[in-house]
Amino acid sequence: MPRALFAIASLATLLAVGSTTVPLASADTPASAPSVATSAAPGTAAAQSTDGASVIAATIDDLQSWWAQQLPDVYSRDYEPIPDNRLIAYSESDPPPACGGRGTTPYQEVAGNAFYCSEGDFIAWDEQVLFPRLERKFGSFAVALVLAHEWGHAIQARTNTSLNATVYLETQADCFAGSWARHVEHDDVSLSIGRVDRDIALAGFLEFRDPPGVDPSQQGAHGNAFDRVSAFQDGFDDGTDRCARYESNPPEVTETGFSSQEEYASGGDLPLDETIKLLRPDLDDYWSIELDGASPVKDVVSDSGSSCDGTSDGGVLVDDVTYCTSDDVVHYDTGALERIYEASGDFGAGMVLAAAWSSGALDQMGRSVTSDAAHTRADCLTGSWAGDVARGVRARDRGNDAISLSPGDLDEGIATFVSLGEGNGGAFARVAAFRKGFFKGTGACTA
Ligand SMILES: [Zn+2]
């Protein structure tokens, strides 16, 4: 949408990235993530936190042995382990070594962060603020993933990987972390971290994403949450091989800078009613092209005044925004939509409505709209629409003032899946379906 909801963090913080230090996140203050609808019950996290040190030790052990096997397999070279004395926990009273110099790095520069330093070949993390916060908020697996990401940078140093923008180095490190996470899950590695929670990984990327509006070509850019999640899923789905190929075949990056000072300055969302007003013709237009002129949705009706007499899709993302097959009407509860808008911005609310159009499209194709598989297809079709909007080709071709995406919008989409996507396979699987449509179009969703 033309405006993004998320408050815009100071862009100045992004410039403070040293050329040899590779921090976990570019901003000193992470963006706020929505509440996480995952299985990480507070009790579980508390139980895990009693032995945070053992989680770190077990993660490090496993990363060393996993890379000792992966590096020869994928890069045909032997792995040189990172010695214990170059795995450094730091705090305000015990700051990390300087990266590329003598003495220490001032704690203030790296507070709440973690980084790999290529000059000293060391990984360092804030054990005072970062790890306790991650563990409290997401559980131990988030801590393990931070280490896996930083390890990815150590691998880049060992393989002399050169990519022409930091965003590719960062997403490749995320990809490596995804490949490692799959190994932990599939090889049933005992890390004393509880089960691998992919949805926690999603929520974590919302925490460490760049703030909206970062130009991905700028030094220090890490990618928005959508890009980082995409990379993580690349690794999770296709393994370390895929990550290695980023060097010759980098992934599509969706992060964009603000298109104008005005857009940067406003930083707010479109109002909800305006969002709905703009969305309807855009969704109608998109689906009429995809469905050869057919129009899957005849009307959009708010509130419970009218109900669906026939079959409804049951709500793809929420129960109270539904598509009704008997009259091709989208019904939505205003309060529910407002809550989503408040939590996840205009694109979050728009995506929930777009999902109803996706059911309409499936109905038009003579497919089921009610099963779990149908909802997965709807997630995918919603992604195909979002991809079309993001690329803006249709808007340009048709010369209408169709909607466009603002920096931050796709991350609102990730946030929506994180907060609403606990059903039907979980947020991670649903984002994967959305991405499939986003990158491959409607045909990939219904094949
Ligand atoms: Zn990094």
Buried/exposed code over 363-387 (b: 16+ C-beta within 10 A; e: otherwise): bbbeebbeeeebbbbbbbbbbbbbb
Better-predicted residue by pLDDT, 189 or 442: 442
Spacing, Cα 412 to ligand 1 middle (Å): 22
Spacing, Cα 288 to ligand 1 middle (Å): 42
For residue 280, with 0-12 CB atoms within 10 Å meaning exposed, 13-18 middle and 19 or more buried, which class applies?
middle
Give the pLDDT of residue 17: 30
| Range scoring the smallest mean pLDDT among 80-89, 99-108, 250-259, 436-445 | 250-259
Give the pLDDT of residue 172: 96
Two tokens, residue 384:
């195909």
pTM, two decimal places: 0.85
Indicate whether 33 pLDDT > 80: no
Closest CA to 417 of 380, 442, 444: 380
Indicate whether 19 pLDDT > 70: no
Better-predicted residue by pLDDT, 289 or 205: 289
| SS3 assignment, position 306 | coil
Identify the band that residue 37 occupies on the pLDDT scale cut at 50, 70 and 90.
very low
Q: What is the pLDDT of residues 150-206, one digit of tens each?
A: 999 999 999 999 888 889 999 999 999 999 999 988 886 766 444 457 888 888 888
Spacing, Cα 328 to ligand 1 middle (Å): 47
Spacing, Cα 426 to ligand 1 middle (Å): 26
Give the pLDDT of residue 49: 43
Residue the block writes with tokens 């249709």: 394
Indicate whether 132 pLDDT > 90: yes
Closest CA to 120 of 92, 83, 89: 83
| SS3 assignment, position 330 | strand
| Range scoring the smallest mean pLDDT among 250-254, 286-290, 359-363 | 250-254
Sequence-distant (6+) residues with CB within 8 A of 38 are 197, 199, 200, 203, 422, 426, 427
Spacing, Cα 362 to ligand 1 middle (Å): 40
Spacing, Cα 146 to ligand 1 middle (Å): 9
Spacing, Cα 112 to ligand 1 middle (Å): 14
Using a pLDDT cut of 90, give the percent of the chain over it. 56
Give the pLDDT of residue 180: 95
Indicate whether 52 pLDDT > 50: yes
Indicate whether 350 pLDDT > 80: yes
Better-predicted residue by pLDDT, 116 or 203: 116
Task: For the chain, give the mean pLDDT.
Answer: 84
Spacing, Cα 96 to ligand 1 middle (Å): 17
Spacing, Cα 107 to ligand 1 middle (Å): 18
Spacing, Cα 223 to ligand 1 middle (Å): 10
Strands of the 321-324 sheet, one edge to the other:
299-302, 329-332, 321-324
Indicate whether 8 pLDDT > 50: no
Q: What is the pLDDT of residues 269-282, one digit of tens each?
A: 688 988 898 899 99
In this structure, the strands spanning 122-126 and 114-117 are antiparallel
**341, 272 Cβ separation under 8 angstroms:** yes
Type and span of the H or E element at 187: none
Half-sphere exposure of 290 (CA within 13 A, CB side): 28
Q: What is the pLDDT of residues 61-114, one digit of tens each?
A: 999 999 999 999 999 999 999 999 999 999 999 999 999 889 999 999 999 999
Better-predicted residue by pLDDT, 202 or 297: 297
Spacing, Cα 264 to ligand 1 middle (Å): 26
Indicate whether 35 pLDDT > 70: no
Spacing, Cα 272 to ligand 1 middle (Å): 36
Give the pLDDT of residue 400: 60
Give the pLDDT of residue 387: 95
Spacing, Cα 167 to ligand 1 middle (Å): 9
Give the pLDDT of residue 176: 97
Average pLDDT over residues 404-430: 86
Using a pLDDT cut of 70, give the percent of the chain over it. 84
Spacing, Cα 353 to ligand 1 middle (Å): 35
Give the pLDDT of residue 30: 31
| SS3 assignment, position 129 | coil
The neighbouring-strand residues paired with 21 are: 117
